[in-house]
């Protein structure tokens, strides 16, 4: 199975402009993400961006740069443009704001794709142990069926703990796609749930495609705000 790791990184984040270039332990955050992708050692790494400054920041790290148009609505759409002429079977979407992702998680997201050649897409989740995380709209939750496929993703607290018998799961925004499905994704019409929640993966479920969810003790410290960056810096210093 030929795998490419794609890192979509745009400059104009609404909550944190210039986020990929924000300094983390003295280096641009995107450099940390590239380092983790290379450490996974599953295939070549491609950075997909719309800004030359981001390309310059990782130009000497041994990855391929792909300049993409600025108007993409999601990282999946940006990657679809970036890898369309790359010969591969599976594309991993490692978001450019995950500087502390464990390389083991990158390898783990590929496991369902190896077991089921018909599976279009896979992702990860980890147990939620902090009630604040469960209630936070910044933490995306996922509920799975008995086959380990996603039933729904939400920023709301799901499943509602009327009787707390189910371990809630935090979705980790790391994806693997069959390349042919990734090429098809931009052609799928957006759906109301996706637009309401601002979660691109809901478009996949809306149109009837399966997403396998591997659950494990995967660390998740995505950076959405300057406060998140400060938290990531503290975690790096504690290692």
239: pLDDT strictly greater than 70: no
Residue 5 β-bridge partners: 45, 92
Task: Give bridge partners of residue 161 from the DSSP assignment.
Answer: none
Contact (CB, 8 A) for 180 and 213: no
State residue 88's pLDDT score. 97
Pairing mode, strands 3-9 and 45-49: parallel
Q: Is the pLDDT of residue 14 over 80?
A: no
Give the pLDDT confidence of 34-82 residue by residue, as tens digits: 999 999 999 999 999 999 999 999 999 999 999 999 888 898 999 999 9
pTM listed for this prediction:
0.93
Indicate if the pLDDT at residue 237 is higher than 80. Answer: no
Structure tokens at 88: 């591969």
Model confidence pLDDT, tens digit, residues 160-218: 988 877 899 999 989 999 999 999 999 999 999 999 999 999 999 999 999 999 999 98
Q: What is the pLDDT of residues 184-198, one digit of tens each?
A: 999 999 999 999 999
What range defines the domain where residue 193 resides? 3-238
Domain count within the chain: 1
**Residue found under tokens 């996603």:** 150
Q: 10 Å Cβ neighbour count for 84?
A: 11
Per-residue pLDDT reduced to its tens digit, 112-128: 999 999 999 999 999 99
CATH of the domain at 89: 3.90.550.10
Return d(Cα 148, Cα 99) in angstroms, integer: 27
């Amino acid at each position: 199975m030929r795998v490419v790791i794609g890192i979509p990184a745009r400059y104009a984040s609404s909550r944190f402009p210039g986020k990929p270039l924000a300094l983390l332990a003295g280096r641009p955050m995107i450099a940390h993400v590239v380092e983790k992708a290379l450490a996974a050692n599953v295939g070549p790494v491609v950075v997909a961006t719309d800004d030359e400054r981001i390309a310059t920041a990782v130009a000497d790290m041994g990855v391929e740069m792909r300049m993409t148009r600025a108007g993409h609505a999601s990282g999946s759409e940006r990657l679809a443009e970036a890898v369309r002429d790359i010969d591969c079977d599976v594309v991993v979407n490692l978001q450019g704001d995950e500087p502390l992702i464990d390389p083991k998680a990158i390898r783990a997201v590929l496991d369902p794709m190896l077991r089921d050649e018909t599976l279009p897409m896979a992702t990860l989740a980890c147990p939620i142990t902090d009630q604040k995380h469960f209630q936070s709209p910044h933490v995306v939750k996922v509920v799975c069926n008995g086959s380990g496929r996603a039933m729904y993703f939400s920023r709301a607290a799901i499943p509602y703990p009327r009787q707390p018998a189910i371990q809630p799961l935090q979705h980790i925004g790391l994806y693997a796609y069959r390349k042919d499905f990734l090429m098809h994704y931009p052609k799928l019409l957006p759906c109301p749930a996706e637009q309401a929640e601002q979660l691109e993966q809901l478009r996949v479920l809306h149109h009837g495609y399966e997403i396998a969810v591997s659950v494990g003790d995967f660390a998740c410290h995505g950076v959405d705000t300057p406060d998140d960056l400060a938290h990531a810096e503290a975690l790096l210093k504690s290692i």
